[in-house]
């Protein structure tokens, strides 16, 4: 159900994307992944949960005992990695792949999102919206670029937030989404969703308010900033950087209702950044993301195998790239608006950004 009628002047790169999308029509993508990969192993999930809590708490204890304040920043980044890992555990819980028990998944999910002060059901419903509309120009909830013409009609505050979070303050992008939907049941169209969100908010308040009070009592407001707010910001920085890079690239379009298809949204609009093994372990394979979009119920520890089967079944369609800060810089430097002519991106000066096909990891290896 869309209102936009773009792109107005599509070029070859847009048509090439549509041709690829057409090839996937009628395919049951998840069928490429063997059934046994869908089976959760609760012990493995709990191990990930424990590792991330230890990392988060350990880094905060490290801040308390650090011999020099210079160590605080790296320790906050580590705490953020712990908090981000916990988000990735909650992510499995939200998709029902942590265990077969919905109640247990919800319990672990609620506890895992505490460092982010994110009510689990609010996060779950927003995340489901992202999955059901990935790279939909009107309905995606994550990092959706707006046409410059629409930006012009936004309020000054909304414009400031939009431009900042797509440029220098990209690390705060998910804080903006959190502010929009996490503590605001009215964001959700269905009454049943709003009821669940209110319950999750009560849980978050019941834990974080006493925790903050205890922190302030024993360590003062500085303690609250150093032991809670800074790790919270760092967790959001990981959250923002990762999610921004997943679906934003100069050659990956956001699509109007006319061109958006379910299968293309699952297979063709994600870039998987290849992390070193230790980072894959600590982020619970969140960067192996195409297989996740094809079959969200595959538990995180089975994603590498699922991704391999997907690559074999759809050669050349799964986008894997080596992670680089340069890639991230490209995104925040150029990919600012939706270009209504080409269907890809325009920058802040309203200049069209040429879709640049990044070198795939396989091609890099061949060089």
Partner 1 sequence: MFNRKKIQRPEGPLTEQALRQWLVDYLVVHVEIPREDIDTAKTFEAYGLDSRVAVQVSGALEKVIERRLSPGLLYEYQSIDALTGYLAAELKL
Give the integer Cα–Cα distance in Å for 316 and 313. 10
Least separation in angstroms between CB 189 and partner 1: 4
**Which H or E element spans position 364?**
helix 361-366
The CA distance from 170 to 198, in Å, is 28
Residues of this chain, 101-130, that bind partner 1 according to CB under 8 A: 129
> Based on CB atoms, which residue is closest to partner 1, 187 or 345?
187
345, 335 in Cβ contact below 8 A? yes
* 128, 250, 318, 320, 321 from 362: Cα distances, Å: 31, 20, 11, 8, 8
Q: Is 138 in the site for partner 1 (CB under 8 A)?
A: yes
d(CA 204, CA 364): 45
CB of 186 to partner 1, least distance (A): 7
Among 12, 67, 68, 155, binds partner 1 (CB under 8 A): 155
Is 281 among the residues that bind partner 1 (CB under 8 A)?
A: no
Closest to partner 1 by CB, 137 or 264: 137
Note whether 150 binds partner 1 by CB under 8 A: yes
Hey, how many other C-beta atoms are within 10 angstroms of the C-beta on 1? 5
Minimum CB separation of residue 150 from partner 1 in Å reads 7
Report the distance separating Cα 77 and Cα 234, nearest Å.
6
Q: Which is nearer to partner 1, 26 or 186 (CB)?
A: 186
Q: Using the rule CB under 8 A, is 153 a contact of partner 1?
A: yes
Q: Which CB atom, from 150 or from 279, has the smaller least distance to partner 1? A: 150
Judging by DSSP bridges, how do beta strands 271-274 and 319-322 pair with one another? Answer: parallel
Nearer to partner 1, 19 or 153 (CB): 153
Closer to partner 1 at the Cβ: 12 or 152? 152
Site string for partner 1, 253-272 (x = CB under 8 A): ----x---------------
**Residue 7, preceding peptide bond in cis (omega within 30° of 0):** yes
Q: Phi, psi (5° rounding) for residue 279? A: -75, -35
Options 184-192, 243-251, 325-333, 355-363: segment touching partner 1 (CB under 8 A): 184-192
190 binds partner 1 (CB under 8 A): yes
Q: 3-state class of 316 per DSSP?
A: coil
**What are the residues binding partner 1 (CB under 8 A)?**
1-5, 129, 138-139, 146, 150, 153-155, 186-187, 189-191, 257
């Amino acid at each position: 159900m869309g209102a936009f009628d773009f792109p107005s002047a599509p070029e070859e790169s847009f048509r090439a994307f549509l041709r690829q999308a057409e090839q996937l029509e009628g395919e049951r993508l998840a069928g490429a992944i063997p059934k046994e990969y869908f089976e959760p192993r609760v012990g493995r999930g709990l191990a990930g949960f424990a590792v991330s809590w230890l990392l988060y708490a350990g880094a905060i204890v490290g801040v308390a005992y650090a011999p020099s304040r210079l160590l605080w920043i790296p320790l906050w980044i580590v705490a953020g990695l712990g908090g981000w890992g916990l988000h990735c555990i909650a992510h499995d819980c939200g998709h029902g792949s942590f265990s077969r028990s919905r109640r247990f998944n919800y319990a672990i999910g609620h506890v895992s999102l505490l460092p982010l002060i994110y009510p689990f059901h609010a996060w779950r419903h927003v995340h489901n919206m992202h999955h059901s509309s990935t790279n939909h120009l009107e309905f995606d909830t994550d990092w959706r670029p707006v046409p410059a013409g629409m930006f012009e009609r936004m309020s000054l505050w909304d414009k400031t937030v939009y431009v900042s979070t797509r440029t220098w303050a990209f690390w705060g992008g998910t804080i903006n989404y959190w502010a929009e939907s996490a503590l605001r049941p009215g964001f959700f169209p269905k009454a049943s969703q709003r009821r669940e969100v209110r319950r999750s908010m009560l849980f978050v308040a019941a834990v974080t308010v006493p925790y903050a009070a205890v922190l302030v009592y024993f360590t003062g407001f500085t303690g609250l900033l150093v032991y809670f707010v800074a790790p919270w910001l760092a967790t959001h920085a990981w959250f923002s950087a990762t999610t921004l890079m997943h679906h934003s690239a100069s050659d990956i379009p956001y699509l109007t209702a006319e061109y958006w298809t379910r299968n293309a949204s699952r297979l063709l609009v994600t870039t998987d950044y290849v992390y070193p093994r230790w980072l894959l372990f600590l982020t619970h394979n969140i960067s192996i993301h195409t297989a996740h979009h094809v079959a969200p119920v595959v538990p995180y520890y089975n994603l590498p195998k699922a991704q391999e089967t997907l690559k074999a079944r759809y050669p050349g369609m799964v986008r894997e790239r080596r992670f680089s800060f340069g890639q991230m810089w490209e995104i925040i430097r150029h990919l600012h608006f939706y270009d209504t002519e080409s269907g890809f991106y325009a920058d802040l000066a309203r200049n069209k950004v040429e879709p640049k096909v990044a070198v795939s990891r396989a091609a890099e290896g061949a060089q």
